[in-house]
Structure formats: C-alpha cells, structure tokens
Amino acid sequence: MKAFAKVIYVLVVWTQLNHSISAFTKLSLSSSKYVSWTLDNKNGSIKVPASVPGGVYSDLMKAGIIGDILKGFNDVKTRWVAYDEWTFTGTFNVTEDQLGSAVARLVFHGVDTFARIMLNGNMLDLTNNMFVRYVYDVKQHLKVGLNEMELKFRSPVEAAKTRSDHHFAAPDCVPPEYNGECHVNQIRKMQASFSWDWGPAFPSVGIWKPAEIEFYDVAILRTINVKYEKRDAFWDLKIINYLESNMATKTINVTVHAWIKLEGNQTLHVEKEFNVESKDGLYTEVVIDMKISENDVRLWWPNGYGDQPLYDLFVAVYTVKDYSQVHKRIGFRTVKLVQTPVAANSSASQGLTFYFEVNGYPLFMKGSNWIPQHVLPEYSYEKSRTKQLLKAAVDVHMNMLRVWGGGLYESEYFYELCDEYGIMIWQDLPFACSMYPVDSDFLDTVRLEVTQKVIDLQSHPSIVLWAGNNENEAALRGNWYSTNSDFNKYKAEYIQLYVTTIKPIVETLLGPNSYLVSSPGNGLESEAEGYIALNPYDPHFGDTHYYNYVADNWDESTFPLTRFASEYGFQSLPSLSTMKKAAEKPEDFSLDSEYSKHRQHSPNGYTFIKVQMDKRLHLDKNDTSYFEKFVFYSQISQAMVIKTQTEFYRQSRDKWHTMGALYWQLNDIWQAPSWSGIEYGGKWKMLHYFAKRFFAPVLVSPAQVSPGVVAVYLLNDRLVPIINATIIVDVYRWDSLTPIMTRTFQADAPALSASRLKDEINLWKNNTSSIFIKFSLRAEEIDSPVNYFFPKPLKSIEGLQKPQISIYVRKPKKVGREYRYKVVARVDAVVLFLWLEAENITGYFEDNGFIATTPVGAQTYFRTKTQMKPEELRQKITYQYYFH
Ligand SMILES: *[C@@H]1O[C@H](CO)[C@@H](O)[C@H](O)[C@H]1NC(C)=O
Ligand SMILES: *[C@@H]1O[C@H](CO)[C@@H](O)[C@H](O)[C@H]1NC(C)=O
Ligand SMILES: *[C@@H]1O[C@H](CO)[C@@H](O)[C@H](O)[C@H]1NC(C)=O
Ligand SMILES: *[C@@H]1O[C@H](CO)[C@@H](O)[C@H](O)[C@H]1NC(C)=O
Ligand SMILES: *[C@@H]1O[C@H](CO)[C@@H](O)[C@H](O)[C@H]1NC(C)=O
Ligand SMILES: *[C@@H]1O[C@H](CO)[C@@H](O)[C@H](O)[C@H]1NC(C)=O
Ligand SMILES: *[C@@H]1O[C@H](CO)[C@@H](O)[C@H](O)[C@H]1NC(C)=O
Ligand SMILES: *[C@@H]1O[C@H](CO)[C@@H](O)[C@H](O)[C@H]1NC(C)=O
Ligand SMILES: *[C@@H]1O[C@H](CO)[C@@H](O)[C@H](O)[C@H]1NC(C)=O
Ligand SMILES: *[C@@H]1O[C@H](CO)[C@@H](O)[C@H](O)[C@H]1NC(C)=O
C-alpha cells in the first residue's frame, strides 16, 4: 500500500523535474546470490563458508568445527577462536552498467572489530569500532567482472592487550570467576563480549551487519534527524537531512521532498531546493521545516497511559541523476527529565527531583534493564527473540527499559517495536564499569560513533534519555579498581571523554537536557560537583543502583530511599528445564559441581542466594531433592525480594518523589545463575510473573511500619483518580481457607499517586506466626491484583497444611497458531507459590507462582502450538510449592 503510493509520487516528481532520474542501485555483499564468502584462520588449517552478516563463532558452529557454544564449558574450550587470526574473503561480480555510475561507495554497517580491509589488493582501511558505519569511495578500485574483497581480522583480545600496553586504564582484568579476557575497555566493542558477572566471554569477530556497494551519480540521502518541539497549538518539525556524495563533489544541487501522513488521511508535503557545499562527502546537511497543527496528530503515550499512534514520514532527495529516500515512523510526545529543587521542609527532605514528565504528566517509570539478547552480535538482532522479550515487558506493565552500557546499540527493529509498544528507552552509551582511555584514536572513533548512532536512532519516540556510561562515576569515586592514587588523572580523563567530547555531540543533536553524564549519579548535582560527586549514590539526587545480598530483603525497612532506582536486583538459578539445555551430565545438577561453579560468575553468588533464602524459607540440607528445591526456592526468594523492593519504591512516590523502579535485569545471555526475570530461551522465572502484579497500574500494597503494624497504600498510576473504592483486608490462619476476619476501608486516590490510608492494620496482640493478610480492591472498572503480607518469615509459620492439589484441563481454544488450554488447580489448603510446569511440551503458562487461598487455588491458561487431548496435557502437568 505504502510502496504503491510512493511509486505514484516518484512519477509525479519525475514529470515535474523533466529529468531522467532513477533510484540509486545497491550491490548487496550480504546475499549469497551476489557474493560468496569464505573464512580461514591464520595457518590455513580451517577453511569454511562464511556468512555476512555473521561471525566466526557462528560460522564455525555451522561448519561443525565447534559445537553449541553455550553448552557445558564450551566458552572456555572454544577460546582459541578468539586468539587466532581470521580472514573473510568475498568474491563478487560488478557489471559495466554499475561501473558507469560516477560514484561507487562501499558501506559496512558493522565490522567487529579490527579488520584490515582490502579490495582487489588495495588497502582501504584498518577498522577499530564495531558500532560505526564505515563508508569508502571505491570506484577507482573496482573492475568489471570478478572482484575480491578481503577482511583480515586481528584477535580482539590481542588488540585490547596491545592498546592497554600503550594507554592503560584500570581495571587490570575481570575477576577470575568470569573466565573472561582483559582490557575490553580499550576497544570499541560490546563490553560484555569479554565476559560479565552474568555472562560468558566470546570475543567475537566478523562482519556482523549487512554490507553493500552503492552506485549513484551525484548524492544520496543517508539518514535524517527529526527534531520536534511543541509551540502553542503546533508541532514544529525540523528535519535535518544528511547527504552523502563522493569526496570529489564540491557542491550538491538537490531537491528535497518531505511528506508526512497525518490523521484523517491528510498528507502534508514540503519541497525545497538546495545548492550546498559538500562536507567531504559525508554528512552534508540540508534542513526542511514543517509545521503541524496539534489537531492533525494524536499524542504518543507510554504503555499503560494511552495509545502509541505513529506517523509515516518520508524524505526523498532528487539530484539531476539520482533519487533516494528515507522512511521513519515518528510519534508526537514531549518528554522532560525534571530536576528541580525539592522543598527543604517537605517529607522529601532537600535536593533535586529526578523524574520524567511525559506529555506534561509526571509518570512513574516501571521496568527493567536490558542486556544483549545474545552474546554473539550476529545473533543479537534476531527479530523473533526481540519481539518475545519486548512483548514480555509489555505484558507485565513495564513502560521503560534501560539499554545497559555494557551492551549494544540495539537494532532498528528493537526501537521500532518499543515505539509500537510504548516502552520508553533509557539508552546508555556503551561504556561500563571501567576507566577509559582518551588517546586521540580512541576519541576520534568515539566521536564518529556517537554522532552516527544518535542521528540514526533519535527519531524514535521511545528513546527518552541518553546516558554517558554505566557506573563509571561511582567506580572512580568508590575506588573500585584501586584508582585513588591516580584519582585526578582519571577524573580529568573521565571529564574529557563524557563531558568535553560526548556531551556536546548529544546536546547539539538533541538539545539541552537530553544527556545524563553517568548512571548512577546525582544528575545536575554531579555536574555541579565537578562530575565526580562525593557520593554518587546520594538519595536526594539523580538515580541509584542498590544491591544488598545480606539484609533481610523481605522487610522493606531495609531499603534506602531514592529519587529513581535504575538498578536493583537479586540472583536466582534458571529452571531445570533451561539448565538441561546446557548441562551435560547428571552430576552437573548440584551446587558443588564443576559445572555449577563454572556458570556462577558472581563471587560468592550461591552463598548470597542461600543466605537470603535462609532468612525466610526453610530448606533441609538432607532433603532428597535438595538441588531441585534450591533452584525453585531461589526463584521464590528473588521474586519476593524484588516485589518488596519495587512496591517500596512505588509507595515512596509521594513521600520522597521516587519516580522509577527499573530492576536488574530483564533477560539472560546463557543458562546460568543471574539476576534475570526471564531465562535464556524465553521462559519466565517466578519474578517475571510477579512483575505483572507488582507493576499493576492500581495496587493495594502493604508496608510493615513496626512489628505487627501494617500500613496500607493505594497505588494509582492512572491519569484519573480512584473514587470510592473499597479495600478489602482478609486475615487468614495458615491452616484454613476461610478468613478469620475481614475488614473493609473506603478509599480514594488522586491521579498518579501513592496514597497511604489513615488506618493501619494492627496485629500485635495476635500470634503472628499463624496468620497472614490478603489485600484486594473493589472499584468500578478497575482490575487490580490481590496482594499479600506475611508477618513472620515463612520458615517459622505455624499451621500450614500439606495440601491436596487436583489439576483440571479444559478443551482448548485456538488463538492464532496457538492452542489455549484453561488449567485449574483445586486445593484443600493454603498453598504457597504454587508453580505449574508442563514437562516436555513447548509452551507457557499465562500466569504462575500462585498464592492459593480459595478452593479454586489457581486458574490460568497454558499456550502451546501442540494440539492434544486435555487429559494428555493434564498428565504432563507437574507442580511444586513451598512447604516444610
Ligand atoms: C593451526 O591453527 C589451529 C587453530 O588455532 C591450531 O589448532 C593448530 O594447531 C595450528 N596448526 C599448526 C600446524 O600450527
Ligand atoms: C561472476 O561471473 C562469472 C561469469 O559470469 C561466474 O562464473 C561467477 O560464478 C560469478 N561469480 C559470482 C560470485 O557471482
Ligand atoms: C540546480 O538544479 C535545478 C534543477 O533541479 C536547476 O534548475 C538549477 O539551475 C541548478 N542549479 C545549479 C546551480 O546547478
Ligand atoms: C483513509 O483512506 C483509506 C483508504 O484510502 C480509507 O479506507 C479510509 O476510510 C480513509 N479514512 C478516513 C478517515 O478518511
Ligand atoms: C515549608 O515551608 C514553607 C515556607 O517556610 C511553608 O509555607 C510551608 O507550609 C512548609 N511546608 C511544610 C510541609 O511544612
Ligand atoms: C543429615 O543427615 C546426617 C547424616 O545422615 C545427620 O547426621 C544429620 O543430623 C542430618 N541433618 C539434619 C538437619 O537432619
Ligand atoms: C461508595 O461505595 C459504597 C459501596 O461500595 C456505596 O454504598 C456508596 O454509596 C458509595 N458512595 C458514593 C458517594 O458513591
Ligand atoms: C487478632 O486479630 C483479630 C483481627 O484484628 C482480632 O479481631 C482479634 O481480637 C485478635 N486477637 C487477639 C487475641 O488479639
Ligand atoms: C502461636 O500459636 C501456636 C499454636 O497455634 C503455638 O504453638 C506457638 O507457641 C504460639 N507462638 C507464640 C509466639 O505465642
Ligand atoms: C519428559 O521426558 C523425559 C525424557 O524424555 C522423561 O524421562 C520424562 O518422564 C518426561 N516427563 C513427562 C512428565 O512426561
């Protein structure tokens, strides 16, 4: 449909200009139709077919030279790959017609990382940054007929070492538990590819994004930067168009047409002619302005607050000979990161606020942190996985993800889906947990990288903030890497990189207030304190990261206040079914196994899980299924800790202006203990099911204010108030499905608020070991999940009965390509954390991890592409729950 409209438009323009123009042509170097690639190692012992986009590890897997890299100890066993030297050779034919163009430009969208690029024996470049797009004039090197391209890659491990010898920046290396490689901070490569505390080292090598040769005559449109600002009843659009031409072109004469499709099938056209001086063939800017009435577009809202209307914007550029076009889908919203003084005598003490105002409303950010979806960059942009993960975020009411600084700039598709789903993106630049060098080679490539990426990505309405780095301010101030003796040197270098070099690039492209120097930090206060604040974790300013593995984290009084929690988390183990995809022997399934030790990169990780678990749950050392229960209990522990902490942050909205809760971490990169809520492969841990409840827009949320005294909050994340709702408080004994007492409270709540009820629930005279409380809400047109409060650690409760559980499965309904089976678990006693599994069937439960307090203990749906009799499914369903 759109393509059709486009063609018509081109024809119209064609006749208007009366020139024989045509779209420029591309020769894809990523298609086996036009080019055949091979890969060989330094001594020639290996020669296999290669893929572009691709990489060495995936090519060697496809050729059967190495096995599944995520199995067993293969991260270490295949490390030789990262030390060897690899050459990609591609041969392709060029036609006379193609060479008839005045310009031939070779474009690599992603080279990972240190390649010497040769074309027919002519050296074009030595690359050094996997994030940038490399463009070369190659007309003089091409010939009609067969051509040969060669990319010879240095070992990234060795390149990092060589650079470190000249430009050392702390740390020396990652901890030994990581089985990683050193000095990744020296090179512009995904920082997690040399290992992290949740991931293996696979120092990848390859042409990880598409490549092509472009043929044209004068100039083409490479990319556009759309700036928009609301002024009175209008949106002022400023479209900065970046032209490319060959180096020899001095002036470019173009006609630019921009058109946008608005509400009611209106299309707004703007056309303008330019005669501009070329900037060495790269990034020649021509600007088009548009004025759009606010009545012609609808606002873009984050998930949970409204729709995400997107509008097609096209820009076409015509020269006397060429035609090229860029298409973006843009959304209209205003976003402001508000950092204004807090009234000194208010409950929020003093300092600055730190919150996002979207379309004029202060919104609480609910979400998590995104790590790369695969350790190999060539697999990290896979659409099905991207969609599965982002859909999972939307399904649990998330409205923000922080794309963390040790990973990648994500794919266009990733940001397009975030635009569609209403997931706002806090984008860290890829610098994390290190000091960084500032030699001129490094700064030059960083400048190019940041300029390209900010221009390419900024038109996405989902991207709301760019942050300079992850934890580097805190690392320097906290002396994480023994940098104190060189503090001033490192501080100067920090300022040179994130402030002098990067900040002006981002702010020139996006305007003031679009760049946060570090996360976590004190925001404007860090800047006022010379960029390395005395306490980057000051709760009165900016964002914080908070981890405490030894406190009793089911007790919310343990958590420090914050304006914005951009990281907090707790580890758990992946389920046995996910582990089975990587563990090879039955002996692996034990905490003491070599396998388990190998996968746990967090120093003392299992001890911390056990310490946390032991505070609230009881697991007998001699239990015959100790490991299986440890895995399950670790997920219960993680889910409850993050639930408690997240609700604490939501409750603190009014009293401390806390305005964000992004827990660490959404996804996983392999099958290993980690902080994730979703396992590698896509299976939800108990945490992710819990997130659906603790992030619900309206929630009744308890807080123990002193032993036996419970305050009740009504959390309202809607743009409208809650009027005359009823909060129902049921007190149960652990030994019965009938509440011993029920009280109700009338409650109102303003829009966007966390209201604390005047009444408290006082249990102090009761024997609190034998009771628990259930909270629910009755209000018109509001769906709110039930919530619970357990006054005593579950390990010391009294009266819990061993339940009888019966599973029922109904006939399925077909939804798309899936079958949706209703599954009911009937119970005769209270059941804690009832967890259903459908063994050996690929599929998932829509809800799980139930607290059963009624005879119909759990009701959910199982989704699968497999059709079977309900009875067949019933027999496959197994369950676990907490009991001691
Ligand atoms: C060639 O390189 C491979 C892979 O690095 C190595 O295993 C092999 O021993 C080398 N062969 C010779 C003859 O050096
Ligand atoms: C290039 O063209 C020749 C002659 O038509 C053909 O034999 C060869 O397969 C082509 N090579 C590629 C890589 O397409
Ligand atoms: C630029 O191109 C237009 C046609 O698109 C032509 O009318 C005009 O003379 C050209 N100007 C120059 C300086 O070449
Ligand atoms: C817009 O155009 C489409 C197809 O041309 C038509 O189906 C639709 O009804 C139109 N909508 C409005 C609001 O005019
Ligand atoms: C804070 O101080 C201001 C001015 O001194 C006063 O008007 C206001 O009522 C005070 N607010 C509170 C919560 O005490
Ligand atoms: C576990 O078993 C050992 C030996 O069978 C026994 O000595 C120990 O008391 C048991 N511990 C518990 C907590 O039951
Ligand atoms: C509030 O709701 C209660 C029942 O939940 C009802 O009896 C009462 O009339 C309502 N009050 C108003 C003002 O709507
Ligand atoms: C226990 O709590 C319930 C509900 O608050 C109350 O009705 C009851 O009197 C309490 N029992 C004692 C012994 O305090
Ligand atoms: C609570 O009640 C149980 C019996 O229901 C009793 O065994 C236990 O000692 C009581 N605990 C306290 C602290 O009174
Ligand atoms: C699942 O498959 C495994 C291996 O094929 C088998 O041992 C196990 O009994 C199966 N479980 C169920 C519930 O069918």
388 shares its domain with 409 = yes
pLDDT at 693 over 90: yes
Catalytic-residue membership of 471: yes
11 falls within a domain:
no
Q: What is the pLDDT of residue 317?
A: 96
Distance (Å) from CA 621 to ligand 6 centroid: 8
- Which residue lies with its CA nearest to atom 6 of ligand 1? 45
CATH code where residue 555 lies:
3.20.20.80
344 falls within a domain:
no
Which strands form 361-363's sheet, in the order they lie side by side?
335-338, 355-358, 361-363
pLDDT digits (tens, 9 = 90+) for 179-202: 999 999 999 999 999 999 999 999
pLDDT digits (tens, 9 = 90+) for 38-87: 999 999 999 999 999 999 999 999 999 999 999 999 999 999 999 999 99
668 shares its domain with 816 = no
- Which residue lies with its CA nearest to atom 6 of ligand 6? 622
Ligand positioned closest to the Cα atom of 576: 10
pLDDT digits (tens, 9 = 90+) for 840-880: 899 999 999 999 999 999 999 999 999 999 999 999 999 99
Cα 812 to Cα 862: distance, rounded to the nearest angstrom: 9
Cβ(451)–Cβ(426) below 8 Å: no
Domain count, the chain: 6
- Find out whether the peptide bond into 638 is cis, omega within 30 degrees of 0: no
Ligand positioned closest to the Cα atom of 4: 4
44 falls within a domain:
yes
pLDDT at 638 over 80: yes
User: Which position among 212, 449, 471, 525 bears the catalytic label?
Assistant: 471
Q: What is the pLDDT of residue 842?
A: 93
Q: Name the pLDDT band for 839 (thresholds 50, 70, 90).
A: confident
CATH code where residue 878 lies:
2.60.40
Give the ranges where 120-250 is alpha helix by DSSP (H): 156-167
Main-chain phi, psi angles of 240, to 5 degrees? -95, 120
Q: Name the pLDDT band for 764 (thresholds 50, 70, 90).
A: low
Ligand positioned closest to the Cα atom of 266: 4
| Per-residue tokens: 884 | 């001691």
Main-chain phi, psi angles of 444, to 5 degrees? -60, -45
Cβ(847)–Cβ(686) below 8 Å: no
530 shares its domain with 610 = no
721 shares its domain with 787 = yes
Q: Which of 744, 762, 795 is the last residue of a domain?
A: 795
Distance (Å) from CA 625 to ligand 6 centroid: 15
Distance (Å) from CA 42 to ligand 2 centroid: 27
Q: Which of 163, 192, 213 is the last residue of a domain?
A: 213
Q: What is the pLDDT of residue 21?
A: 72
Q: Name the pLDDT band for 8 (thresholds 50, 70, 90).
A: very low
257 shares its domain with 313 = yes
738 falls within a domain:
yes
Q: CA nearest 712: which of 699, 722, 694, 724?
A: 699
- Cα-based angle 770, 772, 776 (whole degrees, multiple of 5): 160
The model's pTM is: 0.94
Q: Are strands 856-864 and 818-827 parallel, antiparallel or unpaired?
A: antiparallel
pLDDT at 1 over 80: no
Cα 455 to Cα 410: distance, rounded to the nearest angstrom: 14
Whether the CB of 346 sits within 6 Å of ligand 5: yes
Mean pLDDT over the full length of the chain: 95
Distance (Å) from CA 273 to ligand 3 centroid: 8
575, 839, 842, 862: residue to mutate for ligand 10 pocket, most atoms within 8 A of CB: 839
Query: Measured from the CA of 621, which atom of ligand 6 is nearest?
Result: 13
Q: What is the pLDDT of residue 708?
A: 86
pLDDT at 563 over 90: yes
Whether the CB of 36 sits within 6 Å of ligand 2: yes
pLDDT digits (tens, 9 = 90+) for 565-613: 999 999 999 999 999 999 989 999 999 999 999 999 999 999 999 999 9
369 CB contacts (<8 Å, ≥6 apart)? 401, 402, 404, 566, 567, 662, 663, 664, 665, 666
Q: Which of 538, 560, 578 is the last residue of a domain?
A: 538
12 falls within a domain:
no
225 shares its domain with 209 = no
pLDDT at 11 over 60: no
The answer to which of 344-348, 389-393, 536-540, 796-800 has the lowest mean pLDDT is: 344-348
Q: What is the pLDDT of residue 450?
A: 98
Concatenating the DSSP letter of every residue in 390-438 gives: HHHHHHTT--EEEE-TTS----HHHHHHHHHHT-EEEEE-S-BSS----
20 falls within a domain:
no
Indicate the helix (H) or strand (E) that contains 823: strand 818-827
38 falls within a domain:
yes
Q: What is the pLDDT of residue 20?
A: 61
469 shares its domain with 550 = no
765, 766, 767: residue to mutate for ligand 9 pocket, most atoms within 8 A of CB: 767
Q: What is the pLDDT of residue 679?
A: 98
Could you tell me the end-to-end alpha-carbon distance of the chain, in angstroms, rounded to an integer?
62
Main-chain phi, psi angles of 242, to 5 degrees? -105, 115
283 shares its domain with 429 = no
Q: What is the pLDDT of residue 447?
A: 98
pLDDT at 3 over 80: no
87 falls within a domain:
yes
86 shares its domain with 198 = yes
39 shares its domain with 141 = yes
pLDDT digits (tens, 9 = 90+) for 396-449: 999 999 999 999 999 999 999 999 999 999 999 999 999 999 999 999 999 999
Q: CA nearest 669: which of 192, 266, 160?
A: 192
Distance (Å) from CA 570 to ligand 8 centroid: 36
Give residue 770's domain range. Answer: 698-795
